[in-house]
Structure 1
């Protein structure tokens, strides 16, 4: 009886030891497999947000898609930008007529009519109205003749549809307008709303006298109006300033934003061995201004992008 009990105890103890060893061996192998099949927290943190392989080509995306802006918001920002492209007029050029002259400000006279320059070589810009390049009808006026002979707009009636009118500011910035139509009106019955009124388009109208000179009235009987419209492609696109304080810490590239209201984002480029930049990611304005470099052994650069798609140097 004693011998049988002792044998049973040893058998139970043997089985227990075998079980413990088996559990330990099985558990060790399972845990090792788990560790090799899952990335560590450190590996996960070092994973770049985007690589050159996963970044779509710029030309495949619209600016709105690239920088994660809704189409509606993008159109609003575009319109705001276009509205700022007006200039203070200082010089007028009409290549076809070989005209190049100064523009001076004029206002409204006591009788309600538009003022004109007190000489026959300058052109007057109606200052109470829009600037050239703004939505609406900007208006220029010049004399057709004087007591001594022809004046600056003597040949204005020789213009044709499609001819160019160039307005320049004191900094040399230019806007190009194109003639759309020409009409003559009685001096006391011109369509003022069409000439001076509001418009959703960016227009410039040139006025001068025409027709027979009425000595009783002291003026010509008609007014010639040249209606022109801004050629949008003529608007000069300013190069945006680059981002500031670009720094690299380990594999992390960071920079400070350009605060211009028309900046929509940034493009990060990796410089290849041949010196050519390769686009690796785009960063929207609302995103963190940083990028985890895939290959820190390369040089990188960051360029600002504005609403027109222009990049900084």
Structure 2
């Protein structure tokens, strides 16, 4: 009787080395991962560039040097809301003063216009001024279409005592920031006016700012009593 066949131990598995097909698959996967990472990096850089493209400042002139010196306080009730039917604007107003370097403050909220408190209240004798941004990295801001206003378009300002001051646009002008007509915009000319100011014109990508200002000039039509407006910060 012959000896049985010898029992050989089960082979011990060794390291798995990919064959030609496995190697190609792994290379393809790495290329896909690399391509995805490149796309993500590109998107991040594009977003950062777009975020930096919004106009950071309205670039208003120094008040003490180029516009009438601020008074201790404007006469009349403060404005609390602004309506521009032709542009679909209906927003509460914030109050603006001066920066430490004595330039005019600009709104920190791109969707809110701001009233310059050291001038008269809208409807009072003199030039009231409301400023607003044209855009930001998120898109159009509150005064994005200010340049589209036309003579005769109506502007309504609600005041703290419930009065509504009605203005009509007289003209819309664009000025290089280096030639901003501060006296014409902020100065008193013997009547009741309201000027709306924003940025416009050519955009300087290096400075991240527009090179011009757009000013909508308006004159008072009349005032009437209405319901008390919403508190500041509410619509």
TM-score by length of 2: 0.61
Alignment partner, residue 177 of structure 2? 187
Q: Equivalences for 1:57-96 in 2 at 5 Å?
A: 86-96=76-86
2:221 counterpart of 1:236? no
2:147 counterpart of 1:142? no
| Structure with more relative contact order (C-alpha pairs < 8 Å, separation 6 or more) | 2
2:113 counterpart of 1:123? yes
Who wins on radius of gyration, i.e. which is larger?
1
2:175 counterpart of 1:175? no
- Which of 71, 82, 91 is 1:101 aligned to? 91
Which range moves more in the overlay, 191-200 or 169-178? 169-178
- Which of 195, 211, 215 is 1:205 aligned to? 195
* CA displacement, residues 187-238 of structure 1 (integer Å, 9 cap, x when unaligned): 122110000112210000000000122133332100000000001xx22379
Contact 2:164 2:225 in 1 (8 A): no
Contact 1:87 1:168 in 2 (8 A): no
User: What RMSD in Å do the two structures reach over aligned CA positions?
Assistant: 2.0
TM-score by length of 1: 0.46
Change (3 A) 1:237 1:103: closer
Unpaired runs of 5+ in structure 1? 1-84, 239-313
Q: Equivalents in 2 of 1:228, 1:109: separation in Å?
A: 26
Q: Equivalents in 1 of 2:225, 2:173: separation in Å?
A: 33
2:153 counterpart of 1:163? yes
Q: Equivalents in 2 of 1:217, 1:198: separation in Å?
A: 33
Q: Equivalents in 2 of 1:91, 1:121: separation in Å?
A: 13
Find runs of 4+ consecutive structure 1 residues off by over 4 angstroms: none
Change (3 A) 1:176 1:130: same
Q: Equivalents in 1 of 2:185, 2:218: separation in Å?
A: 11
